Chains A and B, each alone.
Chain A
Amino acid sequence: MKRVVCNENYCIGCKLCSVYCITSHSRYKDPVRAFKRQGLSGEERNRLRELGHVSVTQRCQHCSDPLCVQACLTGALYKDKDGAVLHDEDKCAVCGTCMVVCPVGGLTRNGGKGLIRKCDLCRDTDEPACVANCPNGALKVVEE
């Protein structure tokens, strides 16, 4: 299955991956409109981790047998035919059980808005927006 991985030797912690993740999932596909007009701030599907000068981003790794899908209380998380782990937002209770079992922070929660988001590999486009817009080549798609 495809997954996006981050090389911490190249990641500069700029969070452009988050900006373009949000943009890619917005109505307007434009960063300024996505944030200012649609108000999608905080809905990125990845998380930046930092320790001292080291930075790296985490997102869903589309496990072949994911615990999040098994633990989901509502059936909102599922694996599709291609093996991607997807999330039906309408079925989600935002309980966070998935976040308590995923070891890589593959699901993000926006407390204020009360929603959970996860990487869907930008399946409508050729390349995930985070990978396409990483300025330092830290993100790449791997397929095993």
Chain B
Amino acid sequence: MKYLIIGNSAGALGAVEGIRRLDKAGTITVLGEEPYRAYSRPMITRLLKGEADVDGIAMRSPDYYRSMGVELVTGVAAESLDLDANRVSATDGKSYDWDRLLLACGSKPLVPPVPGLADLPYVTFLTADDALAIRERVVNGGCRRIGVIGGGLIGLSLAEALMDMGAEPLIFEQMPRILPSIISDGVAGRLAGMLVDRGLAIYAGSGVAAVEKTGAGYVIRLNDGSMHEVDLVAVAAGVRPRTELVSAILPEGARYLPVDAGMATGQEGIYACGDMVSLPEQLSGTSKPIPTWPNAYMGGRTAGYNMAGGKADIRVALPFNAFHYFNIALATAGCSVAVNGDETVVWDNGAYREVMLRDGRISGFAALGDIDNGGLLSWLMRRGADVSACGAEIAAPDFSHLSLSPELRRELEETVKEGQNEGSGSY
């Protein structure tokens, strides 16, 4: 069996490990566009700060590809797919055949259509080379005030690293709050207060109207009329799926490539995972993108397992986000901003938590400050447990399994004993 994996990040690692659970002999080829072994994208802050090189943030040991029987081809991108011949042509002039193909192409930065932006040498912060390029501009280029367009996870991680380096990041978020897609006003307001206390400049609630060149730097003009002089502009306004390669199999009008819970695309022998796909989200069952690192890995692993003849659904099809920036912990899971009809249970005493309930079942939560035992809430959410009997206690940081019903406690014990349902993919 010939396996071909396009992409060399979390999804590819998952796929290699999934394939090798069932097939020790098949040949696996991984095409990686970047000239590196798979590295941790969230750790590119260490490259920016000069604390590590790319090898230092590698996800696996140096002999990983050899020991897993993988041919890694780096610095080569796929150019076009021939679906009839099961063949990919690549930028190295070669073509690569497959019996089973995994598309793990990831995402690219979304660059908002701000007048003036496209014409200037802005930076983004998604790859190792991005981080090294920003480092060059800060350390050798004299850039000190850096305008970061976007107050999401990428923007905040960039801002933290820049502040550690002695630079002065300014966050511009067009929505009224930071991290608008994963936390509510209540969480974001408290987090923003803590970040401002630590010296971070945050301008939320007004989009960027234009960016103009001025002298050695740039002026960022917001819709509210205010002007901010910066030395460098960083775009951190979110990501877009990289689906150029698969335009032939992308449903009309779809932005993401849809897959089923087994990560199959519906095309014979072709699977996909990670930031480029939408998949049946676990609570609603509707097809949604879940552009998180754990989802890419788990999707890749499920895909690999199924490519090798297994039959499994992705174990967890929900978003999880956690960070520790500026020495502040934040964790979110599921639908972490209440939607119509959700009941929000709030804990606001030292730490802050919001737990969203839908028909007595957890649909999502956000924890700020103390994230201890957040995994218990995730487990209850994943299995759709009725927690209405827990009342307000569900949001308390010291909520534990001791408060669960005897049936749920037994089930939790069984889950652990079974090593978390190995191979079944049933949750």
Contact = CB atoms under 8 A, between A and B. Distances in A.
Nearest to A67: B420
Contact of B375 (A51, A94, A101): A101
The size class of the interface chain A forms with chain B is 35 or more
Interface stretch (B165-173, B259-267, B269-277, B316-324): B316-324
Nearest to B382: A103
A7 interface: no
B372 A109 contact: yes
A45 B104 CA distance: 36
A12 interface: no
A4 B336 CA distance: 33
A56 interface: yes
Contact of A99 (B57, B369, B371, B420): B371
Main SS at interface, chain B? mixed
Contact of B322 (A8, A64, A100): A100
A49 B402 contact: yes
Contact of A63 (B14, B57, B321, B420): B420
A54 interface: yes
B400 A51 contact: yes
A58 B293 CA distance: 27
Contacts of B57: 74, 91
B60 interface: yes
Given A99-B372, A114-B327, A75 B322 contact: no
Contacts of B371: 96, 99-100, 109
B412 A103 contact: yes
Q: Which of A58, A61, A66, A104 has the most CB of B within 10 A?
A: A104
A47 B294 contact: no
A66 B316 CA distance: 12
Given A96-B324, A99-B374, A104-B416, A71 B297 contact: yes
Contact of A96 (B60, B327, B329): B329
Contact of B421 (A51, A65, A70, A99): A65
A111 B301 contact: no
A51 B293 CA distance: 35
A144 interface: yes
Given A70-B301, A74-B59, 4 more contacts: A47-B372, A70-B315, A101-B378, A111-B370
19 contacts: A1-B419, A58-B400, A65-B423, A73-B41, A74-B57, A75-B59, A95-B42, A96-B324, A97-B321, A97-B322, A99-B322, A100-B320, A100-B333, A101-B294, A102-B375, A105-B372, A106-B375, A109-B371, A114-B327
